[in-house]
Amino acid sequence: MQGKSLGILLALGILSGCAGYGHHQSMHDGQGGMMSGHQQMGEGGMMGSVYFRQGLLVAQGGRTLYRFDRDQAGSGASACNGDCAVKWPPYLAAPGASAQGPLGLATRADGSKQWTFQGWPLYFWQGDQKAGDMNGDNIGGVWHVIRP
Domain coordinates of the chain in residue numbers?
A: 3-145
Query: Is pLDDT of 140 > 50?
Result: yes
**What count of other Cβ atoms lies within 10 Å of the Cβ of residue 122?**
26
Query: Is pLDDT of 22 > 80?
Result: no
pTM over 0.75: no
Region 63-71: what's the mean pLDDT? Answer: 98
Q: H helices then E strands: how many in the chain? A: 2, 10
Q: Please report which residue ranges of the chain form alpha helices under DSSP H.
A: 3-18, 83-87
Cα dihedral 125, 112, 75, 82 sign: positive
Of 66, 10, 20, the closest CA to residue 40 belongs to 20
- 123 vs 87: CA distance, rounded Å: 10
Question: Which pLDDT score, from 0 to 100, does residue 98 have?
Answer: 92
